[in-house]
A and B are shown apart, each in its own frame.
Chain A
Amino acid sequence: MSEIRHSILFDEKRCIACVACTKACPSRAIRVRGGRVQVNADLCIDCGECIRACPHDAMSVRTSSPSDLKRFRHTVAIPSTTLYTQFGGDVRPSHLLHALTRIGFDSFYDMSWMCEMVGQALDAYLSECQDPWPKISVTCPAVIRLIQIRYPDLLPHLAPIESPRELTAKLIRRRVAQERGLPPEEIGIFYVTPCSAIMHSIIYPVGLEESYLDGAFSVAEVYGPLRMAMEEMGEASSSSATGFSPRGLGWAAAGGESAMMRNANTLTVNGVAEITHVFDRIEAGKFRSVDYIEAYICPEGCVSGPLLVEGWWRAKRNLREVISRLGRQASIQEEKTRKLFREHFFDLEEEVKARALRPIARDLKQAILRKREKEGLLALLPGKNCAACGAPDCATLAEDILEGDAVPEDCVFVKLDRLAGPSSARGGKASNDSRAKERPGPPGAAGPERDT
């Protein structure tokens, strides 16, 4: 097992060992065995689908704690642009930002302008980059990790432009240090995150040796305090809404990046099912006429992140309203962005590498043998994908059995069938000869004793 420490925490006391998380995990990293949840750290991509799926709140995210703020002489909050979508359509972004200083941060920075700059940089990159097409966005860290694990062939497709959150932190650390006359390391920069994937990317960055962010809090945990602070502040206290980028705010929802690409043929892909479909085809050489793919593991982009409070159907509407209320704003000067682009300000600092998993077999012959064994097991299992065994589906249980992590009797149907004995007519698939092949001797006699 890898040493990667993930951002998702599991609370055994709340868990009732149902299989909601197992079934929701796009990486098939979760098993429920012996009444306990086990997560394969090699496979977890920190997407947070388990947090969303758990009806008992047993999954949560390891965020920063208020005591982390005390380690720094000056703290800055950078809220994800999704924060502006959580308090109704008539919330003023500047009001919200000022409220951050009332809940424990010394100052704040809006990053919508950086989203606009990164959009311009991507547009510049797309106009001059080389094969292979299409390029794939690196905005969603869960998508990057999915590519590292399941689609290593697609790594050369990643657009090597850093995310707006990291670039904002990089830039404002310098700026705040100058303004306040403080050493950069005494400034704590904290993100307000809509998801576990970004939290994990701060602890274990990809494309970057070390994150420019010092930690993060979830939108859900600052939501209550922020709401109270805004009420206390009243209407008059905040300044007018300037300095926001409406185009950058659009990045909060899927399609926001693509809307900024003027000369590129773009495609927005949301959720694991769509991603799998499209990525499988990119691997097969399709989609070459598309220049840029904006992909999010969440169903509607960041605005549907697992750590948000507002339902995304409303958050999306709020976002449109907030943007239209901002009206016309001065846009970022493109020459400035182009200059920074040429100076490699936006570049990913490190190459994104494949995250290799254990090879399943030593050589081709062994792999074929293993595949046959798996097919034999699949013939034995009912194919209902009920997950009652604790694996997400029958195919995964078959793999677990081959690995020695499970036994066929973990399947309730197999177990029932074996308890009923070999003469039972009920079993259907479960009484066929693949079982006899799997275990020599009279099958009915050996069954129950092997239960553990």
Chain B
Amino acid sequence: MTQERPREDDVAGAPADVLYREAFRISGGDYEHGGEVAARVKAILKELGIDPACSRRLSIANFEAEMNVIMYAESADLVLEVAGDEVRVTVADRGPGIPDIGLAMQEGYSTATAEMRARGFGAGMGLPNMKRNTDRFEIESVVGGGTTLRYAVRIA
């Protein structure tokens, strides 16, 4: 876990329906801790008694998002927001951005390097997989600025 993880336990500034909010810092290139933020979010959802099916789908998306940041970006903040009817996640990174989002959303399209592939990533399933496992999925990207993902899973 990175030291500079910002703590935003209070829900001030969040949409009115947000009951719980926590932010995590993900550092680019930090393969050593890859997956830890997703695992922590999952532990929080479990502690809050969120339905396991919902938490599993969101965790799949979180893991993909986290690995994307580690592989491509400089750093990112992952913000978890739990509302009464859904769990929302925003991942805003500082990174190269995605020039062609339509292409990146295609299954099998990947810009992964040999090293990333050797680690078992880069199959080109990341973004499509995230979309498939969430009930709402938005992606915004500025080339040279960064990418922001917003996704949510409804609480059953």
Contacts and interface: CB of A to CB of B under 8 A. Distances in A.
A383 to B, nearest CB: 14
Interface string B37-71: 01100101001111011001001101100000000
A153 interface: yes
A334 interface: no
A283 B56 contact: yes
A375 interface: yes
B48 A284 contact: no
A281 interface: yes
A153 B120 contact: no
A367 B20 CA distance: 10
B141 interface: no
Contact of B82 (A283, A289, A361, A364): A364
Given A284-B38, A285-B129, A371-B44, 16 more contacts: A152-B52, A153-B53, A153-B56, A280-B39, A281-B35, A283-B42, A284-B60, A285-B60, A286-B63, A360-B47, A363-B49, A364-B50, A364-B155, A368-B19, A371-B20, A375-B9
A289 B52 CA distance: 23
Contact of B48 (A152, A285, A289, A368): A368
Interface in B62-114: 62-63, 82, 84
B63 A367 contact: no
A284 B50 CA distance: 15
Nearest to B48: A367
Nearest to B123: A289
A367 B84 contact: no
Contact of B20 (A284, A286, A361, A368): A368
Interface string B17-32: 0011000000000000
Contacts of A375: 9
Contacts of B49: 359-361, 363-364, 367
Contacts of B53: 153
B154 to A, nearest CB: 13
Nearest to A399: B47
Interface string A355-387: 000011101110110011001000000000000
Nearest to B10: A372
Interface of B: 9, 19-20, 35, 38-39, 42, 44, 47-50, 52-53, 56, 59-60, 62-63, 82, 84, 120, 129, 133, 155
Contacts of B35: 280-281, 284, 286
Interface centre among B48, B53, B59, by most chain A C-beta atoms within 10 angstroms, is: B48
A371 B47 contact: yes
B24 to A, nearest CB: 15
9 contacts: A153-B53, A280-B39, A283-B59, A285-B133, A360-B49, A361-B48, A363-B49, A368-B19, A371-B44
Nearest to A276: B39
A372 B47 CA distance: 11
B63 A284 contact: yes
A364 B19 contact: yes
A11 B97 CA distance: 63
A278 B50 CA distance: 22
Contacts of B133: 285
A283 B56 CA distance: 6
Contacts of A152: 52
A284 B39 contact: yes
**Which 7 pairs across A and B sit closest by C-beta, in order of nearness?**
A285-B60, A284-B59, A284-B63, A367-B48, A367-B49, A368-B20, A280-B39
Interface centre among B20, B82, B84, B129, by most chain A C-beta atoms within 10 angstroms, is: B20
Contacts of B42: 280, 283-284
A152 B46 CA distance: 12
Nearest to A366: B49
Nearest to A370: B47
B48 A364 contact: yes
Nearest to A363: B49
Nearest to B44: A371
A252 B34 CA distance: 33
A74 B60 CA distance: 54
Interface in A11-32: none
B21 to A, nearest CB: 10
Contacts of B84: 364
Nearest to A280: B39
Contacts of B82: 364, 368
Nearest to A360: B49
Interface in A274-312: 280-281, 283-286, 289
Given A284-B39, A360-B49, A368-B82, A289 B60 contact: no
A372 B155 CA distance: 21
A281 B129 CA distance: 15
A375 B22 CA distance: 13
Contacts of B63: 281, 284-286
